Amino acid sequence: MLHSEGRNLQPFLERLTARSVLTREEQQAILSLPTHASQVHANRDFVRLGETIDHVSLIVSGMVGRFDQNSEGSSQITAIHIPGDMANLHSVVQPQATSALQALSVATILSIPHCAVRAATAQHPALAEVLWRDCMVDAAILSQWVVNVGRCPARIRIAHLLCEMAVRLKAPIDRGSCSFPFRVTQMQIADATGLTSVHVNRILRTFREDGLVDVSRREVVVKDWDELVAAGNFDPGYLQNDINPEERLRIVKLL
Q: Determine whether 194 is exposed, middle or buried from the number of CB atoms within 10 Å of its CB (0-12, 13-18, 19+).
A: middle
Give 91-119 pLDDT, tens digit per residue: 999 999 999 999 999 999 999 999 999 99
Average pLDDT, the chain: 94
- Weakest-pLDDT range from 46-55, 68-77, 151-160, 162-171: 68-77
Task: Please determine, for residue 60, whether its predicted confidence score (pLDDT) is greater than 90.
Answer: yes
For residues 46-53, give the mean pLDDT.
97
Percentage with pLDDT > 90 across the chain: 87
With bands split at pLDDT 50, 70 and 90, how would you rate the model's confidence at 163?
Answer: very high
How many Å apart are CA 64 and CA 61, to the nearest integer? 9
Q: Tell me the pTM.
A: 0.93
Give 178-199 pLDDT, tens digit per residue: 999 999 999 999 999 999 999 9
How many Å apart are CA 59 and CA 84, to the nearest integer? 6
- Asked if 6 and 32 count as a contact pair (C-beta separation under 8 A), the reply is yes
- Asked if 100 and 139 count as a contact pair (C-beta separation under 8 A), the reply is no
Task: Please determine, for residue 216, whether its predicted confidence score (pLDDT) is greater than 80.
Answer: yes
pLDDT at 53: 98
How many Å apart are CA 105 and CA 61, to the nearest integer? 9
Task: Please determine, for residue 2, whether its predicted confidence score (pLDDT) is greater than 60.
Answer: no
How many Å apart are CA 10 and CA 226, to the nearest integer? 32
The residue among 105 and 243 whose pLDDT is bigger is 105
With bands split at pLDDT 50, 70 and 90, how would you rate the model's confidence at 72?
Answer: confident
pLDDT at 242: 81
Percentage with pLDDT > 70 across the chain: 96
For residues 146-174, give the mean pLDDT.
97
